[in-house]
Amino acid sequence: MNETLKILFGLFGGLAIFIFGMNMMSECLQKAAGEKMKKILGLLTKNPLLGVLAGALTTAVLQSSSATTVMAIGFVSAGLMTLPQAISIILGANIGTTMTAQIIAFKISDYIYLFIAVGFIISFVCKKEKIKNIGQTIFAFGLLFEGIETMGGVMKPLAGSPFFTDLIEKVAGIPILGIFVGTLMTLVVQSSSATIAVLQNFAAQPCADGVTSIIGLAGAIPILLGDNIGTTITALLASVGQSKDAKRTAVAHSIFNISGAFLFVWFVKPYAALIQYISPKGNEVDVISRQIANAHTGFNLVMTLIWLPLIGLLVKIVMIIIPKKDGDSVVPVAATAYLDDKLASQPTVALHLVTKEVIHCGKLVEDILLKIREVSDKNEEKLSNDIIQSVEQEHAIYEKINDYIAKVFAEGVVTEEQVSASTRLMNILCDIDRIANWSKDITQLLMGKSGKKSKLSKEAKKDIRKAVRLILEMYAYALHVLVNEDETGKKNIQKKKEEVLLLEEKMRKAHMERVGQNKCSVKMTAMYNGILQDIDRMGNSCVNLVDMALENPGMELLIEEV
């Protein structure tokens, strides 16, 4: 095979193994530690410094700044975190992502296959999900280094190519060109960690003397800066079609890295000298991988220290770039308010969004019950049409939530705890949807839209509205318990349920009295009893909602009320 083709195949094959290993390791770590990282992000955002620490720790553990960024964006979208808090986490994520380069700088080539073998055995033999995830993480860690070794092996012949060395000398001598190369590499590969790994491997190739790096640290730093710019463009592209807060977070990330690149490009040689001074000493080819990792860490630390006290300014800048419009906060009734398809691969965040959407759906049903209660002879035609339309809109959202949960499951990164939480959310959603459907039935019967020629008397309609008012009180209280986990909820809701049963008994008796007095048609008795049956079912669903909230206090339906 042609030597050039062998190099290209080896380079891209090694890169593919590296990226696969990196993604697999990140995915498995999210399964094993995602919930813990979510709690850390939630707790450590009270001030910007803690936010930075939370972002750095989460990214270092998950080995994915993208995962941390997506979590932060999701929390902002769900109303669980403010934009300044999200930006502080993004600053920390930039520090945390440098840990990948630090890990790569270790020379563990003799133990690669040991990691792969041990990881495979653990994941293959163990049945417990958490231990299996740990095994897959170790296996992916080994694959990551196998990809690095493959790339390093095929790059060795390049060091002896006069054409290639002349090209590298030009790139190394012109920092702006180096930044362009780094940006282009990250745009093509879509992973700054991968391009920095390639850079570390390439820089470790010796010149003819066998001691000096083919590019040197001063030549590698501009490419490193370009890698950081490239990853911001990737984030901007990923934010297209998302919420404005998601776009603002991506813009803040871009400003952070682009401003840093333009600042550091003027001090490449002094910065390289500083990094060489604080890094391990030895032959350049032996230590340059660690020097690049330290340069990457140093860049992000310095830029974080610069921007940390200026987070307020950064928020103002992104708000100017992506301004808020008057209609931004208005959510169409038929549309989902929180679900974001691009966050479905992050179950921790996605389930928070689902929870918010379920409560949003619940609020729509509360509005439906309120409309039924307000119906009078003067406005019944208009309100009945509004109610029926609202129920159809609610059911459309119900279907979208179910589809979204299915999409989250299809991503294949859901833990057992998340499966249980999803099941409880779906059960709650089903009861909410049932109440909406029964509301539609009652409305159609109440307004004479059931196909029956006879209509209910004014007294019967008045009694039904009274029962609906009681159901509305029960339902509103059930939503309150779902949001706040009120321990007194069960007793109160049961008391309301008993009131509904007593009222139903009185209504049946009153109806039969009206039938005897020819005030109501005999033909309406079955329909009237059907309405009472729907009201009874609605009361049962309200009790179910309270039971599900109180029996699962660890569900964490909402951190704050919608």
Read out DSSP for 374-420?
H--TTTHHHHHHHHHHHHHHHHHHHHHHHHHHHHHHHTT---HHHHH
pLDDT confidence of residue 80: 63
pLDDT confidence of residue 561: 34
Strand partners, 206: 213
Q: pLDDT tens digits for 271-280?
A: 999 999 998 8
pLDDT confidence of residue 331: 43
The rounded radius of gyration (Å) of the Cα atoms in the chain is 31
Q: Quick one: pLDDT band at residue 559, thresholds 50, 70, 90? A: very low
Residue 106 φ/ψ, nearest 5 degrees: -75, 140
pLDDT at 483 over 60: yes
Q: pLDDT tens digits for 146-169?
A: 887 787 677 666 655 665 566 666
pLDDT at 556 over 50: no
Please tell me which residue, 562 or 94, carries the higher pLDDT value: 94
> For the ranges 110-119, 197-206, 514-523, which has the lowest average pLDDT?
514-523
pLDDT confidence of residue 166: 67
End-to-end CA distance of the chain: 64
Q: How far is CA 403 from CA 211, 393, 408, in A?
A: 58, 15, 9
pLDDT confidence of residue 489: 59
* Total residue count of the chain as it appears in this document: 562
Q: Quick one: pLDDT band at residue 301, thresholds 50, 70, 90? A: very high
Quote the percentage of the chain above a pLDDT of 90. Answer: 7
Quote the percentage of the chain above a pLDDT of 70. Answer: 79
Q: pLDDT tens digits for 357-406?
A: 888 888 889 888 888 877 655 556 777 788 888 888 888 888 889 888 88
How distant is the alpha carbon of residue 466 from its chain centre? Answer: 43
Q: CA dihedral defined by 533, 538, 544, 547, rounded to 10 degrees? A: -120
Give CA–CA dist 215/75, Å, rounded.
42
Q: How far is CA 97 from CA 8, 64, 195, 302, in A?
A: 27, 6, 13, 15
pLDDT confidence of residue 305: 92
Q: pLDDT tens digits for 487-529?
A: 665 667 777 778 878 888 888 888 788 877 777 777 778 777 8
pLDDT at 473 over 80: yes
Residue 278 φ/ψ, nearest 5 degrees: -90, -10
Question: Which one of 95-109, 163-177, 294-308 scores highest in mean pLDDT?
Answer: 294-308
Contact 63, 87 (CB under 8 A): no
| Token pair belonging to 94 | 């930039």
Kindly state the average pLDDT of the residues 209-234. 83
Give CA–CA dist 257/430, Å, rounded.
46
Kindly state the average pLDDT of the residues 77-88. 74
pLDDT at 311 over 60: yes
pLDDT confidence of residue 112: 84
pLDDT confidence of residue 33: 61
pLDDT confidence of residue 302: 93
pLDDT at 333 over 50: no
Q: pLDDT tens digits for 222-243?
A: 988 988 888 777 667 766 666 6
Contact 245, 322 (CB under 8 A): no
Q: Quick one: pLDDT band at residue 41, thresholds 50, 70, 90? A: low
pLDDT at 244 over 60: yes
pLDDT confidence of residue 488: 63
Identify the CA nearest to 442 among candidates 395, 389, 511, 384.
384
What's the CATH fold of domain 341-555?
Methane Monooxygenase Hydroxylase; Chain G, domain 1 (1.20.58)
pLDDT confidence of residue 298: 93
pLDDT confidence of residue 196: 83
Helices (H), 328-346: none
Contacts of 76 (CB under 8 A, 6+ apart): 82, 83, 85, 86, 243, 245, 246, 249
> For the ranges 46-50, 163-167, 294-298, 325-329, which has the lowest average pLDDT?
325-329
Q: pLDDT tens digits for 527-552?
A: 778 888 888 888 888 888 888 777 76
Contact 142, 113 (CB under 8 A): yes
Average per-residue pLDDT for the chain = 78
pLDDT confidence of residue 543: 84
Q: pLDDT tens digits for 86-107?
A: 888 888 888 888 887 888 787 7
pLDDT confidence of residue 294: 93
Domain ranges of the chain: 3-321, 341-555
pLDDT at 25 over 90: no
How distant is the alpha carbon of residue 430 from its chain centre? Answer: 24
